[in-house]
Amino acid sequence: MALATAKLFVDQGAYVFITGRTQEKLDEALRIIGRNVTGVLGDAANLADLDRLYETVQQEKGKIDVLFASAGAAGFGKLGEITEDFFDSIFDLNVRGTLFTVQKALPLFAAGGAIVLNGSIASIKGYAANSVYSASKAALRAFVRGWLVDLQDRHIRVNLLSPGAIDTPLMAASGSDFKAQIAPLIPRGEMGRPQEVATAVLFLACGEASFVNGVELFVDGGMGQI
């Protein structure tokens, strides 16, 4: 989803900075996007890596207009079997990482900018062995409500985009049987495409959405609403 979003923004004339935890995947993303992009190797849960990212942004462009905080981790852990390491691995990236990704970007933000956090319908649905992940995404909804107040004097909008079942490479790795089980749960009968998420991020970031602030936009084909 992040790759599709970066590519769409470039196609719309933006210059983008992307980050990833492995050089191989980062290089592949740079190849696909092709132009107007800088890649910085790093982990959103590592504060030193975030500092390096924003130092690069400062040196190359000097400011940020839009931030899509999309890094996240998922995993299953049933109550009674949840370990401290598992809990920390989810919350370190999804909650702590998101917080510091945004906070460390603020000195570079222009007035009137836009921040979009990447949530999930898991924050409003109950799924087996998924409580830790769901809670980490619910925390982002609370961040949005608080941050829009914190940033109101700078006219920076903050919104949450919450995808449902999206046909990503990670989902594809789950196999055709899993995808076939998911499809009937979606009113339109099929999973969403990364490009549909990217279009929603673009809307939340653009000037035409200047009065949209503090919302949670579900991009789920209705899956989370029934």
Asked, for residue 24, whether it belongs to a domain, the answer is no
Phi and psi at 163, nearest 5°, equal -75, 160
What pLDDT shows up at residue 212? Answer: 98
Contacts of 80 (CB under 8 A, 6+ apart): none
Say whether pLDDT at 32 is over 60: yes
Active site residue 15: no
Question: What is the Cα–Cα distance from 191 to 179, expressed in whole angstroms?
Answer: 8
* Single-letter code of the amino acid located at 139: A
User: ∠ CA 68-133-178 to the nearest 5 degrees?
Assistant: 95
Structure confidence at residue 172 as a pLDDT band (50, 70, 90): low
Asked, for residue 48, whether it belongs to a domain, the answer is no
- What are the structure tokens assigned to 187, written together? 């009113």
pTM: 0.95
* Single-letter code of the amino acid located at 207: G
Q: How many residues are listed for the chain in this entry?
A: 226
Say whether pLDDT at 119 is over 60: yes
Phi and psi at 111, nearest 5°, equal -60, 140
Number of domains present in the structure of the chain: 1
Give the residue-averaged pLDDT of 159-182. Answer: 81
The domain that holds 89 is classified in CATH as: 3.40.50.720
Asked, for residue 37, whether it belongs to a domain, the answer is no
Asked, for residue 20, whether it belongs to a domain, the answer is no
Give the residue-averaged pLDDT of 122-137. Answer: 94
Asked, for residue 21, whether it belongs to a domain, the answer is no
Question: What is the Cα–Cα distance from 94 to 162, expressed in whole angstroms?
Answer: 13
Burial of 179 (0-12, 13-18, 19+ CB in 10 A): middle
Say whether pLDDT at 179 is over 80: no
Asked, for residue 212, whether it belongs to a domain, the answer is yes
**Residue 174 DSSP SS3:** coil
User: ∠ CA 148-158-16 to the nearest 5 degrees?
Assistant: 145
15, 54, 127, 133: the active-site residue: 133
Structure confidence at residue 173 as a pLDDT band (50, 70, 90): low
Give the residue-averaged pLDDT of 7-25. Answer: 98
- Where in the sequence is the domain holding 86, given as residue range(s)? 65-225
Asked, for residue 142, whether it belongs to a domain, the answer is yes
What pLDDT shows up at residue 168? Answer: 85
Could you please report the per-residue DSSP string of 57-97? HHHHTS-EEEEEE---------TTS--HHHHHHHHIIIIII
**Look-up: residue for tokens 């207009």?**
65
Higher pLDDT, 180 or 26: 26
Could you tell me if 1 and 70 are in contact, meaning their C-beta atoms sit under 8 angstroms apart? yes
Asked, for residue 173, whether it belongs to a domain, the answer is yes
Q: How many CA atoms lie within 13 A of 40 on its CB side?
A: 20
Question: What is the Cα–Cα distance from 64 to 23, expressed in whole angstroms?
Answer: 24
